[in-house]
Structure 1
Amino acid sequence: MRTGSVWLAALAASVALGAAAPAALAQQGEIKIGEINSYSGLPAFTEPYRKGWQLAVEEINKAGGVLGKKLVVISKDDGGRPADAVTAANELVSRDKVDMLAGAFFSHIGLALADFAKQKQMFYLAGEPLTDAIVWSAGNKYTFRLRPSNYMQAAMLAEEAAKLPAKRWATIAPNYEYGQSAVAVFKQLLSAKRPDIEWVGEQWPPQGKIDAGPVVQAVAAMKPDAILNVTFGPDLVKLVREGNSRGLFKDRAVVSFLTGEPEYIDPLKDETPEGWIVTGYPWDSVKTPEHDAFLKAYQAKFNDYPRLGSVVGYALIQSAVAIINKAGSTDTEKLIAAARGLEFDTPFGKSMFRAIDHQATLGAFVGKTAVKDGRGVMVDAVYRDGAKYLPSDEEVKKMRPQS
C-alpha cells in the first residue's frame, strides 16, 4: 500500500482474502461499479476526479478487494448531455451487469441518473451534482449524494456574508439547474439572517458560453454593494478578466461558490481577485492524518497535487466500498439499507450518509481568495462540517417524497 491510512487497514481486515494479490482476486470474481461523468465536458474537474477514483481502486485491490472480490470500475463519458448519460447507464446495467451506478458532474445529469436509478431500481451514488433536488424534491430511495450540496455550501457562505455591511446584492449564475438552485437557496438563507438585504438584480449567462462584457456591464449598472457569483470553469476566468478590467469588483464584496477549488482558482493565476469569500480546497494547507496519507499517495502515483475533484473521486470509491462491505452483498435493497446512516472515511475525515435524505455530511472549506507568488490561493480557510449546515429532519420531511 502507498499509504498507512486507517481506512485501508480496516478494509484489509474486513475482506475475506486479506492481502490477496489482484490475480487471486480475479479468480474469485468481480464487483463492478458503473461510473458516468462529463469527462469531455469539464476536464479541469473530471480528470483529477478520475485519478482520485483510480487511486482508491488500486489501493482497495492491493488491500484485498471487496468481499473477497476484485473491484472494477467501468467508466463512460456522458459528454455533458443527460440523454447520453442515461444511454450509458442503460449499457452499464444491461450489458456490463454493474452492481451499482456512480458519478455525474452536472446537476441536470445527476437528476436524470437519479430518475433512471428509480425506474430501474438500481443503487446510484452521485458524486458531484450539487442540486438540492437530488436528495429532496426529486429524492428517491435508490439515490445517495456525496458532496456538500448547494444548501450546505450556501449556508456556509451566508454565515460569512451576513457579517458584511453590504445591503444591495446582485447575482451572477449559469442558467441551468445548479446555478438556479444555488442562487435561490443563498438568497433564502441570507435574507433570513439579514432581512435588510435588497436583491437588486440577476444575470443568467448560459453555462460555458458567457458573454462576460455585457454581464459585467449589466451588474455594474445595478450598483450593488455585493455580488454573489456562481460561475465556474472557463466562464469564471472570462468574468474575472472582464470584471477586473472594468473595475466591477473594486470596493465590492464578492461571495463565490467553488472559486477556492484548485480547478477554478489555478487558471486565474495573478488575475485572481483578492478578498472574495469562497468555498474551496486549500490542498497544501490541510494538515490532518487522513489528508496527509491521501496527499502522499496521490503525489506518489501522479506526480501532481490533488484538486477537489481528486478528493471527490477518491471518497466516492471509499464510500461505495464501505456500503458494499456493510451490506455484505451487492443486492440493491441491502445496499440501500447499509448506506442509510453509514459512517465512512474520506480525506477530509469521517462522513455519514443521513438516513432521512441520503445526503452525506462531508463538509467544505470556507476562506478568502488571495494572490501569492503570482498564483491564486485560498487563505484563512476553515473546514466546515457538513452536518452542521443541513436542515432538520422535520424540514426534510416537508421537502422530500417518502420512500
Structure 2
Amino acid sequence: MNRPLFRWLLAALAGMLVLGLAACGQEEEGTPQPGASPAAASPTRGTITLGLIDMFSSATQQYIANSIRAGFEIAIEEANAAGGVAGYRIEVVTADMGESTDRAVAEAQRLVNERGIRLITIGINSGAAVALAELAKNRQDFLVNGAFATTRRLTGESGSRWAARANISTVEIGGTMAQFLRDKSQIRTVAIVAPDYEYGRHFAEDFKAQLGRIRPDVRVVREEFPPLGARDMTPHVAAVQAARPDLVVTAVFGGDLINFLRAARDLGLTPGTQLFIHGVDLVKMETLRDVLPDGSWGTAWYPFWAVSSQASQDFLNKYRAKTNDIPVAGSLTGYYAGKMLVEAIRKAGSGDLAAVISALDSGVEFDGPVGRVSVRGCDHMALGPFYVGEVRRGSEYPGGIGLANVVPIQVSQVARSCEEIARVRGG
C-alpha cells in the first residue's frame, strides 16, 4: 500500500472514531437520556391545539374567566414540562365571547373550521355551554368541555358523547347543600333566593328535589328570584323576612350577593337568621368581609387554606407565581378542564377526536390539588370533592375571612346516576 493512501485511511478511521464517540453521547430527539427526568424529553410528533372560549372582555365576569384560564393553562404547562403528552406538545388558543352566546358559537365554528381545533373548552357561561353542546352533537366534529358552566343540560338533557364537564351542575350543588342539612335538626323551614334565569331556577328546583329526598320534614316557605344585576334587594329580603324561615339558602353571586347581604343586614334579617351561601369562593372571599356574618354556612370549590396536602401547596404556588393572586373556584375547575383533556389525549395516544372521545367513554382519572378526580364514562363528568364550611374571620384566612370546620362531600354521592343521564337524554 502506498504511503499517501495509508495516511488517508488512517485519517478516515480517526474521523469515524470521533464521530462514533460523539454519537454515543447523543439520543434520538424526544427520548430522555438515561437518568434524565421525563421533563427532559421533547415532543416529536407535533402539536395538539386546544381551544378555550370565555367571557374575557365581560365587565362582570372577566375575573372568573381569567381564573379559569389560569388554572387551565397550569394543567397544560405541567404536561408540556413533563415532556408533552403521547409525544405531542399541547398549546392553547383563546377566544373572547364577550357576553354573547351567539359570539361563542361563532368563535367555536371559527376554531373548528379555520384552525382545525377539535377539543374546545367553554368557560363560565351556561347558555353558551348548552349552545355549543347542541352544536357539537349536531356536527360531531368537535368536543365541547365545560370548565365552569353549572347548567345540568350540558351533559344531561343536551349532552352527548361530544360533550364533557369539569364542574358540577345545579343537581350536585343542590345535593351537596341538602346533604349538609341531613343532621341539622334545628332547620325546619327554608327560604330560597336565586337569580331569575336558568341557573337560578334550576338551582331552586334541584335543591328542593334533593332536600325532599334527604330531609322530607323541611318545608320551603318562600322563593325569591331577583333579576340578575338587581341593585335594590330590599323587596326580596322583606318577603323572605315575612316568611320567618329558619334558614335562607342563596345562589345569588358577585355584586348581587353583596347587595342582598347588605339589605339583609339593614332590615335585620341577619345576624338572627341562619344563612347558607352557595359559592363563597367564586371570587375572593374578602369581598364579602364587611357583609357576610360569622357562622353563616357556605359551599366552596377550593378552600385551599383548609386543604393540607403537598399537591394543593404546589398548585397554590404555581397559581400565585402565574397570577400574583390567590386561586378561586374557577381556578380549580379550569385546572380540571385542562387536566381531563390531557389525560384523555394520553390514554388515546393522540389528539384524534374519535380516540379522545373513546378514552373519555371508558373513563379517565387524575390527581388534582384536592385529591383524586374521576371522569366517568357515561357523561364525561369530573367527580371530585366539593366543600361546605362555616364562615369565620381571622388572620389565618386570606383577606381575613374564610371557611372553618370544612367538610368535603364527594360529588359522586349526589350526582345523577348514569341511568338517569340516559333517561333525560332520551336513551
TM-score using structure 2 length: 0.84
Q: Does 1:34 align with 2:48?
A: no
2:309 alignment counterpart: 288
| 1: CA distance, partners of 2:282 / 2:303 | 8
Structure number with the bigger relative contact order (C-alpha 8 A, sep ≥ 6) is: 1
Describe the shift of the 1:168–1:296 C-alpha distance in structure 2 as closer, same or farther (beyond 3 A). Answer: same
Quick check: 2:65–2:123 contact (8 Å CA) kept in 1? no
| 2: CA distance, partners of 1:301 / 1:173 | 34
| 2: CA distance, partners of 1:73 / 1:252 | 46
Quick check: 2:166–2:334 contact (8 Å CA) kept in 1? no
Once the two structures are superposed, what CA deviation does each residue of 1:153-189 show, in whole Å capped at 9, x if it has no partner? 2111101224242322211111122111111010111
Root mean square deviation of aligned Cα: 2.2
SS in structure 1 of the partner of residue 228 of structure 2: coil
Q: Does 1:190 align with 2:207?
A: no
Displacement of 1:90: 0.8
Once the two structures are superposed, what CA deviation does each residue of 1:316-346 show, in whole Å capped at 9, x if it has no partner? 2111110111111222221111012211222
1:381 alignment counterpart: 406
Once the two structures are superposed, what CA deviation does each residue of 1:121-175 show, in whole Å capped at 9, x if it has no partner? 1111111011222222222111011112222221111012242423222111111
Q: Does 1:64 align with 2:83?
A: yes
Once the two structures are superposed, what CA deviation does each residue of 1:233-252 show, in whole Å capped at 9, x if it has no partner? 11111111221121123322
Q: Does 1:140 align with 2:190?
A: no
| 2: CA distance, partners of 1:46 / 1:295 | 18
1:106 alignment counterpart: 125
Aligned residue runs from structure 1 range 1-400, under 5 A:
25=43, 28-41=45-58, 42-121=61-140, 122-162=142-182, 163-259=184-280, 261=281, 263=283, 265-280=285-300, 281-340=302-361, 341-373=363-395, 375-400=400-425
Tell me which amino acid in the other structure corresponds to 1:279. T
Tell me which amino acid in the other structure corresponds to 1:241. R
- Which stretch shows the higher mean deviation, 226-235 or 62-71? 62-71
Tell me which amino acid in the other structure corresponds to 2:75. A
SS in structure 2 of the partner of residue 195 of structure 1: coil
Tell me which amino acid in the other structure corresponds to 1:400. R
Displacement of 1:264: 5.1
Q: Which runs of 5+ in 2 are unaligned?
A: 1-28, 33-37
Displacement of 1:210: 4.5
Displacement of 1:230: 0.3
Quick check: 1:114–1:124 contact (8 Å CA) kept in 2? yes
1:9 alignment counterpart: none
| 2: CA distance, partners of 1:210 / 1:30 | 48
| 1: CA distance, partners of 2:31 / 2:162 | 29
Quick check: 2:64–2:282 contact (8 Å CA) kept in 1? no
Identity of aligned residues (%): 31
Tell me which amino acid in the other structure corresponds to 1:35. L
Displacement of 1:194: 2.5
SS in structure 2 of the partner of residue 132 of structure 1: coil
2:24 alignment counterpart: none
Q: Determine which structure has more spread, i.e. the larger CA radius of gyration.
A: 2
TM-score using structure 1 length: 0.89
SS in structure 1 of the partner of residue 105 of structure 2: helix
Describe the shift of the 1:131–1:238 C-alpha distance in structure 2 as closer, same or farther (beyond 3 A). Answer: same
Displacement of 1:28: 4.7
Displacement of 1:357: 2.3
Quick check: 2:197–2:228 contact (8 Å CA) kept in 1? yes
Once the two structures are superposed, what CA deviation does each residue of 1:51-82 show, in whole Å capped at 9, x if it has no partner? 22222222322222223222111111212321
SS in structure 1 of the partner of residue 199 of structure 2: helix
